[in-house]
Chain A
Amino acid sequence: AQTVTQSQPEMSVQEAETVTLSCTYDTSESDYYLFWYKQPPSRQMILVIRQEAYKQQNATENRFSVNFQKAAKSFSLKISDSQLGDAAMYFCAYRGYNTDKLIFGTGTRLQVFP
């Protein structure tokens, strides 16, 4: 069975600085999708970024980028120029190629200090 591990329960960063959130996963599949979701205090889940496993190029979305290491089964999220609005829970998620189900990690709470 696939698993997703987020080893950092909490992280903090100074405004305008860069922070990296870690995520590792375990799977025997070769094709799959990886996601980072943000859950602010409102608890609305928001997709931050998506990576298809067959793509070697790391996904980027404005200030958010990932470091996808398929062989190491690692999928970290880098937030550049952190803003106060980035403070939230961040969940890493895995989805197999032939399924719609998401497997979530335990989450990392990010605090942003002015």
Chain B
Amino acid sequence: GAVVSQHPSWVICKSGTSVKIECRSLDFQATTMFWYRQFPKQSLMLMATSNEGSKATYEQGVEKDKFLINHASLTLSTLTVTSAHPEDSSFYICSASVSGGPYEQYFGPGTRLTVT
């Protein structure tokens, strides 16, 4: 089946620094990738949608300048949390899909970010 990887699985960074999370589709070309944020015991909150080679579309309330998304190829998207603060600590999940049709989203295993 389709596999999506995320790296790193867990990262700790200091307040004020930036951290990059990678999302890769390993065995298929993803026309669209999604970034979610999940707080403990809560549902997934969509942050942004990115298509290869174009700018990401951010959901309302998500700061574009804080959460930089780059979808450089059909197999790689990155999320950079800039000037991280403790309130950015969360679980970040990416997913990838092939646009159109009944295609499902394939989810990565997630990245736990802790900002100290």
Contact = CB atoms under 8 A, between A and B. Distances in A.
Interface of A: 33, 35, 37, 42-47, 50, 52, 91, 100-102, 104-107, 109
A86 B90 CA distance: 25
A100 B107 CA distance: 14
B46 A43 contact: no
Contacts, number: 44
A109 B104 CA distance: 22
Contacts of A102: 34, 46, 105
Contacts of A100: 32, 34, 49, 97, 99-100, 105
A109 B41 CA distance: 9
User: What is the size category of the interface that chain B forms with chain A?
Assistant: 20 to 34
Interface of B: 32, 34, 38, 41-44, 46, 49, 91, 93, 95, 97, 99-100, 102, 104-105, 107, 109-110
A45 B43 contact: no
